[in-house]
Amino acid sequence: MLRIYKLNYYYFFLQSAKKNNDPEVSVYLMLAIMQTSNFITVMNMIFLIFKIHNVYDIRKLAIIGPITFCIFNYYYFTKRGNGKIIMEDNTYNLGKYSFLLYLCLPLSMLLLIVSSYFYQES
C-alpha cells in the first residue's frame, strides 16, 4: 500500500510543480483524503467481520482524519526527507500508465461508500 502512496506522490508532485510554487500542499491533501478513506474502509471491514456496531462517528473521523494524515505526510515526506528521495528515483515514473493513478482516489472513495453501507446495514 505504501508503494501506491509513493507512486501518487511522485506523479502528482510533478503535475503540481508545473502549476504551483509550493507543490507539496496539494499532494499532501490528496494523499490525506485517500489515506482517510482507506483507514475508514479498513475499520468498517474489521467492525463488520466482528459484528461491532456504532463505535465511531464517521463525520468526526472524516474531519480529524485528513488533518492527522496531512501532518503525518508532512513529517514523512518533508521532515524525514523521503519526498526528495522519491523525486530522485525514476522507478516511480509509470509513463503511459500514469493515468491509472487518477483512479486511486475515486476507487478508495467508492470502497469507503460500499463498506460504510454494509457496516450501517448490518
Q: In terms of Cα–Cα distance, which of 45, 37, 42 is closest to 108?
A: 37
pLDDT at residue 115, as a whole number: 94
In tens, the pLDDT along 21-32 reads 888 889 999 999
- Report the range of poorest mean pLDDT among 15-19, 44-48, 75-79, 109-113: 15-19
pTM above 0.85, yes or no: yes
Domain locations along the chain: 2-121
Determine the pLDDT at residue 96. 84
